[in-house]
Amino acid sequence: MYPTLRETLELTAERYPDRDAIIYPRRDQRFTFAEFDERANELANALAEMGVTKGDRVSTMLYNGSEILLTVFACAKLGAVFNPLNYRLPAGEVEYILNDADSRVVVYEADTREAVHGARDALDTVEDYVYIDEDTPAFAHDFYPLLDDASGDRPDTVVEEDDVYAFIYTSGTTGRPKGVVHEHRDMVEHNLIVAAEGGIGKTDVGLSALPLYHCAELHAALFPRIQVGATSVIHHDFDAVAVLQDIERYDVSVMFAAPTAWNGMAHTAEQVDADVSSLELGMYGASPMPEDVLDACMDAFCDDYLQAYGMTEIGPCGTFQHPDEQIPKQGSAGVPALNHDLRIVEPDADPRAEVDQGEIGEILFSGPCTMREYWNRPDATKSSLRTADGKEWYYTGDLGYLDEDGFLYVVDRKDDMIISGGENIYPTEVEDALFSHPDVIEAAVVGEPHEEWGEVVAAYVVGATDAETLDEYVRESDALADFKRPREYNFVEELPKNPSGKVQKFKLREER
């Protein structure tokens, strides 16, 4: 039988029982792999005592900490389905996801108490609540006494490679979030790929400060470290000063962060007295690293950086840009990950309808880490997963092209592309032109219906002065062809965003 996430922890604990697995400074906790494995057994058995069985959904509303990691591995040991929620969600969105997932248990903390309690009366399937902080509500279980009272023996549930590991809900930039269903084998494959691509080994020490409810930090950083026996330092949330201090304190050698976080750390490093020379590899995703940010990080930290591009549905890592490719291929998303295939096709076309090299089309992936389905969304699943040439292809909805060396460049979202007078306009290039104005804080571009041209460009701008001044700036900058220039400017105090900070352009369209 192929190993599951259950065996991922158990085999590592058997191989390296005395090696540090988890260090959580906020609670002054330090667990060896043997200790962490036993604590995960305790939580699994406590959940089983509540009535949680194989296939039941266990949801978390937790910031980073040992508790969310114990929960994910307790679920893996029971064959229960892990369902992490974004800790910034309001009660209404908590209600939607927990009901859509048919959640059985919710694990939460003081910082998410208001949202969980606000949703509680409207939750259809939740039977038990587990609270990790002091002043536990009367209706909830107290997390740590649960562990202390439970057996540390391995549960006898049979968990197989094609059992569901998690429902991870997308961030909802185009509407209601969808539950991405991943199986155990998907994640084990992904662990091995990331560890191999990044050269992560048992002697590494990683630091997780970005949210562990998100697949980027959990799947692309934490899980691979547990797979190979490396140590993980956990921060409750991101604080640049604390991160820099703990890189020195724990000799951190590898860390994942978004380019914006790396940029903040690089600038903070100038004011913080911390020796960060132990850092050997900086991992990042969400967007390419701007050249000036990469230069600043190389000056402040280390020379080697690894970019991953992808999405929740494929693991998330589908391509990697390796350390020696950062400068010569700056701006690219890299090349396909190990055991992955990549195609650029006409948007929504058959997977065999590939475009010529250099032409823009929709990005498709085929690989071993792709989701099983969208939970309760058969139409969305059918649209996103299609088979051709004996392979299953995931349609990303992203547009991009391949250069002469096979490196991927991501251009924009397919749904955001504007067609004006038969010409394709990619909002990102228009937004970049607007961003270059010193008074523009944020900008988002959508298509406005037009009788003659089909669509024209409408811009939503935060921070600029007036339409005439901004339009003159765009005309004179030579950054855009005239047909790409905004024909309408809307000045707003803020742009609608989801809890991950991504602009929700569908809300801008709805308001028109």
What does the alpha-carbon distance between residue 151 and residue 140 come to, in Å, rounded to a whole number?
20
Contact predicate 286/211, CB 8 Å: no
Q: Are 326 and 289 contacting, i.e. CB atoms less than 8 angstroms apart?
A: yes
Could you tell me which of 479, 384, 400, 495 has the C-alpha nearest to residue 446?
495
Rounded CA-CA distance 227/191 in Å is 7
Q: What is the pLDDT of residue 441?
A: 85
Nearest of 161, 154, 157 to residue 183 by alpha carbon: 161
The pLDDT assigned to 501 comes to 62
Contact between 212 and 222 (Cβ < 8 Å): yes
**Mean pLDDT of each 10-residue bin along the chain, 512 residues long:** 91 98 98 98 98 98 98 98 94 95 98 97 98 97 97 96 96 76 97 98 97 96 98 97 98 94 92 96 89 93 97 97 96 97 94 95 97 97 95 95 97 84 83 87 88 87 86 86 90 80 78 66
CATH topology of domain 419-510: GMP Synthetase; Chain A, domain 3 (3.30.300)
For the chain, the maximum distance between any two Cα atoms, rounded to a whole number of angstroms, is 71
Tokens of 99: 């009901």
The answer to whether the beta carbons of residues 457 and 487 sit under 8 Å apart is: yes
Per-residue pLDDT, 10: 97
Euclidean distance between CA atoms 171 and 118, whole angstroms:
21
CA-to-CA separations, 486 to 446, 490, 492, in angstroms, rounded: 9, 10, 16
At the fourth CATH level, which superfamily is domain 305-412? Luciferase; Domain 3 (2.30.38.10)
Q: Tell me the backbone φ, ψ of residue 479, rounded to 5 degrees.
A: -85, -20
Half-sphere exposure (CA, 13 Å, Cβ side) for 456?
Answer: 12
Give the whole-angstrom CA distance, residue 451 versus residue 64.
51
Contact assessment for residue 54 and residue 159, using Cβ atoms and an 8 Å cutoff: yes
Residues forming beta bridges with residue 450, ordered by sequence position: 454
8 Å CB contact between 294 and 305: yes
Q: Give, as one character, the DSSP assignment of residue 355.
A: P
Which secondary-structure segment (H or E) carries 461? strand 454-462
Q: Cβ distance 259 to 306 under 8 Å?
A: no
At residue 287, the pLDDT reads 77
C-alpha closest to that of 504 among 431, 428, 444, 436: 444
Q: How far apart are CA 127 and CA 62, in angstroms?
A: 18
Decide: 364 and 344 in contact? Cβ < 8 Å.
Answer: yes
- Domain 5-237, CATH class in plain words: alpha beta
Tokens of 228: 């190979």
Each residue's pLDDT tens digit, 281-297: 999 998 788 888 899 99
Question: Can you tell me the distance from the alpha carbon of 156 to that of 361, in angstroms, rounded to the nearest whole number?
Answer: 49
pLDDT tens-digit map of 318-359: 999 999 999 999 999 999 999 999 999 998 899 999 999 999
Distance (Å) of CA 356 to CA 330, 404, 422, 466? 22, 11, 20, 42
Q: Work out the end-to-end distance of the chain between its first and last CA atoms, rounded to an integer number of angstroms.
A: 55
Alpha-helical (H) ranges within 180-221 are: 184-198, 215-217
Query: What is the C-alpha to C-alpha distance for residues 60 and 83, in angstroms, rounded to an integer?
Result: 6
Instruction: Judge whether 266 and 297 are in contact, CB under 8 Å.
Output: yes
Identify whether the C-beta of residue 64 lies closer than 8 Å to the C-beta of residue 169.
no
**Would you say 410 and 363 are in contact if contact means Cβ atoms under 8 Å apart?**
yes
Scan for tokens 């391509």, then name that residue. Answer: 319
The burial class, CB within 10 Å (0-12 / 13-18 / 19+), for 507 is middle
Q: Give the DSSP H/E element, type plus range, for residue 164.
A: strand 164-169
Q: How far apart are CA 411 and CA 84, in angstroms?
A: 30
Can you give the pTM of this predicted structure?
0.89
Count of other CB atoms within 10 angstroms of residue 358: 11
Domain boundaries, the chain: 5-237, 305-412, 419-510
Length of the chain counted residue by residue: 512
